[in-house]
Amino acid sequence: MLEIKNLTVYYGHALALENINMAVPEKGLTAVIGPNGAGKTTLLKAISRIVDPAQGSISYKGHNLLKYGPHKLAKMGIAHCPEGRKPFPEMSALENLLVGGFVLPSSKVQARLKMVFDLFPILRERMNQLSITLSGGEQQMLAIGRALMVSPSLLLIDEPSLGLSPLVVDELERIIGNIKESGVTVLMVEGNVDLIRDLPDAVYVLDHGSLVHSGTVSQIMNDANLAKTYFGM
């Protein structure tokens, strides 16, 4: 579904990603892990065209993504759930979701909203609350729900577990598992072992802007050096 070749990104003169090659197959979950500053968020931002690469290519369903601006991507079926959730603070939960659904024909919005509320029943209860008054876990669910309103084929999720309690992380694991089962292809940046242990079909490890390893979770966990370096185990 997604093929990245020789991707290099700079911020000014600072190299953030160097010669990244990776492939994200359809209908699975691919995880990207690595220490702070490794370039994980930059990778998602390059895919969703928020940052421009200096070189390389990104192909999505055979289309050269670099030809498109970020505003076109939602219509192409790519949704980005950003690090730190970033709800629109002065909008209610419902309004946030409706913004996510702007690409849908109006006849499809209510059905999509129902699907999101069925996945996150707490958002139905909280729909008229200002988004910033929601708890961290609820805001994360809102951010994922807003991205799902796009009706994406490819969902990019950046560190969904950030700052959340283990109980909420368990709930997120179940929900992200359901999203994967529904056939949405997921590319998730995540460092929390609890969220990485069972969900991914493949894991890429970034470090200092370079891809240093790829494999399955068990391959990484069974390698004492990798497990210690990247999972602190």
Whichever of 34 and 137 has its CB closer to ligand ATP, that residue is 34
Whichever of 101 and 200 has its CB closer to ligand ATP, that residue is 200
Whichever of 85 and 112 has its CB closer to ligand ATP, that residue is 85
| Residues at the site binding ligand ATP, with contacts judged by CB under 6 A | 11, 14, 16, 34, 36-42, 83
Least spacing, CB of residue 210 vs ligand ATP, in Å? 11
Least spacing, CB of residue 49 vs ligand ATP, in Å? 15
Least spacing, CB of residue 158 vs ligand ATP, in Å? 7
Bridge-based pairing state of the strands 29-33 and 185-189? parallel
Least spacing, CB of residue 205 vs ligand ATP, in Å? 11
* Cα–chain center distance at 27: 14
- Whether the CA torsion 18, 21, 22, 23 is positive or negative: it is positive
CB distance 23 to 4 below 8 Å = yes
* Sequence-ordered strand ranges (E) for 37-164: 55-60, 63-64, 78-81, 154-158
Whichever of 36 and 106 has its CB closer to ligand ATP, that residue is 36
The CB-side HSE value for 106 (13 A sphere, CA atoms) comes to 0
